[in-house]
Amino acid sequence: MPKPFDRLTATAAPIMRGNIDTDVIIRIERLVGNSIRGTLGKWAFGSLRYLPDGSENPEFILNREPYREAEILVTGPNFGCGSSREGAVWSLQERGIRAIIGSGFGDIFFANCFQNGILPVIVDKAVVDQLAADIEATQGAGKVSIDLEAQTIVSPSGARHSFEIDPRRREGLLKGLDEVALTLQRDDDIHAFQVSDRAARPWIHSTRTPASRTPA
């Protein structure tokens, strides 16, 4: 069940390169296995954070003070595109990230964030660029505030930006709702749908058929 998210004031790190895919956020070999949760934080952005010899890349923003403590990322276009791996969100979360502000996100990554109590905020590219400039002007010392209830972001310069968010998803984050439990409350509806659908589209539901239908 996701932790609730209401407001956050924290260090924010701009990572402005476009099209950062979920393979770059977390490599696949870190995700092979059923006991990976809790092991992923140190591997987030592995190929950017570490040099080929395994040492930290001093150039990468999350390896620099004060960005090392960042709980907010400000990102370039199409952040989180590519693979559906939810491990990308888990690795950021385990690294301490709680919100991501960008002009657009990969669709599946975006949905995965909400499932884990991470707030992805979509604002115009001009706002993202302004935030990044304001943060860099303070060398990262200026914090960014996000208020989900009020749907506002306050930049280190004091500039206030509002953002839109799907009301359902906003409520889910504010209350830390568990979607599985919510949907199971509608189980009667699901069963009723299946009964009428079985009449309308029987070929969808009759997958358990004679032995002759097992794969040839």
Partner 1 sequence: MPGRSLLEKIWGQHVIARLSEDTDLLHIDRHLLHDLGGSRGLLDLKSRGLKVHNPELTFATPDHALSTAPGRAGTSKIGLELLAALRVETSASGITLFDVDQPGQGIVHVIGPELGLSLPGATIVCGDSHTCTHGGLGALAFGIGSSELTHVLATQALIQRRPKTMRARFEGKLPLGVTAKDMILALIGHIGAAGGTGYAVEYAGSAIRALPIEGRLTICNLSIELGAKMGMVAPDEKTFEFLRGRPYAPQGEMWDLAVKAWRELPSDPDAVFDREVVIDVEKIIPQVTWGISPEHVVGVDGVIPDPNAVDDPLRRAAIETALEYMGLQGGAPIAGTPVDWVFIGSCTNSRLSDLRAAAEVARGRKVAAGVRAWVVPGSENVKREAVAEGLDKIFIDAGFEWREPGCSMCLAANGEVVAPGQRSVSTSNRNFVGRQGPRARTHLASPASAAASAIAGAIADVRMMGR
Q: What would the x/- binding string for partner 1 be over residues 156 to 185, using CB under 8 A? A: ----------xxx----------xx--xx-
By CB under 8 A, the residues from 48 to 107 that bind partner 1 are 52, 76-78, 81-87, 89, 104-107
Pairing of strands 12-15, 152-154: unpaired
Nearer to partner 1 by Cβ, of 31 and 100: the residue is 31
By CB under 8 A, the residues from 4 to 43 that bind partner 1 are 16-19, 21, 23-24, 27-29, 31-34
With beta carbons less than 8 A apart as the criterion, state whether 161 and 153 touch. Answer: yes
Residue 16's closest CA among 96, 133, 118?
133
| Side-by-side strand order, sheet with 144-147 | 7-10, 144-147, 152-154, 160-162
Q: What is the CA radius of gyration of the chain?
A: 21
201 scored as a contact of partner 1 (CB under 8 A): yes
142 token code pair: 């200026």
Q: What does the binding site for partner 1 look like in residue numbers (CB under 8 A)?
A: 16-19, 21, 23-24, 27-29, 31-34, 47, 52, 76-78, 81-87, 89, 104-108, 111-112, 115-116, 166-168, 179-180, 183-184, 186-187, 189-190, 193-194, 197, 200-208, 213-216
